[in-house]
Amino acid sequence: MGLKGFMDKAYRGKARSRHLETHKGDVVFGLEDLSERLGPRPSKGQVAELVDDRILPKLLSADPGKKYMELWGCLTSVASERSLVPLRLPGRDFAGLQMSSGVLILEVGGNGGNHLGERMSGGRIFIKGPAGSHLGQDMSEGRIVADSCGNYAFKGMKGGWGVIMGGSGNFTGLGNSGGRIAVRGSCGERAGWLMRQGSLRIKGNAGDYLGLLMSGGEIKVMGMAGARAGWRMKGGTIFAQGGYGPEAGSGAVGGEIL
């Protein structure tokens, strides 16, 4: 089934007209037209006000290129929030941007989409394939499940759930102030760097500098942590069931290495 037919089924004929008062009655013809009215990086709320459900399938099926990628990402969130059933879309960069409700199923290619679920505040995203970098960055609520991911996953996370079924790259959970992350495989270096609150669970091994400069929160590793786990940590707890590499807790002024 094509995207238009799938979305028609999702809305079940309940299309709603949504236009800004200043453009009431106008028709949006494409991504370029929408960008001229809102700019290439509008808020999701601005997009939702202007875009009619009837034009959404056309806008989503267009190739955004690099110029309109964030605009396209907002459109995916608007579509998921209006849909009565989960939406299956390509896992391009910024899909699920600022999403607040609904369900997205994203199918990504070999390199994976970057910034998937960025600034998400609700809803669920399921990623089929390897997600790229900055997965779930600055998310405050909701749930993301991915097969695997690149660097900077859940950077600046404030709340919600992040589940990685395989492995994650470097800097997982950088600067977290809340939320819960579970990695069923192993993760790269500097996971939990500058972590302030929240929890990070790693079923496999963790790379060097786990919990670097962390000031709060909890990190638990079922495998082994690399060198300098908890380096200069100020608070929080780190537990690695498989043991630690050299210089664990070096320079720490607070917190606990269990």
| pLDDT tens, residue by residue, 51-72 | 888 889 999 999 999 999 999 9
- For position 20, what pLDDT does the model report? 38
Burial of residue 12 (CB within 10 Å: 0-12, 13-18, 19+) is exposed
- For position 107, what pLDDT does the model report? 93
Q: Which residues of the chain have pLDDT under 70?
A: 1-27, 110-111
- Give start and end residues of each alpha helix (H) in 12-101: 31-38, 44-50, 56-61, 69-82
pLDDT tens readout for residues 194-244: 999 999 999 999 999 999 999 999 999 999 999 999 999 999 999 999 999
The HSE-up count of residue 52 (CA atoms within 13 Å, CB side) is 14
SS3 7: helix
- For position 252, what pLDDT does the model report? 94
Question: What is d(CA 256, CA 258) in angstroms, rounded to the nearest whole number?
Answer: 6
| Phi and psi, residue 225, nearest 5° | -95, 145
- For position 55, what pLDDT does the model report? 86
The amino acid that residue 203 corresponds to is K
What domains lie within the chain, and their CATH numbers? 1-83 (no CATH), 108-258 (2.160.20.60)
- Selection from 72, 44, 49 nearest residue 60 by Cα: 72
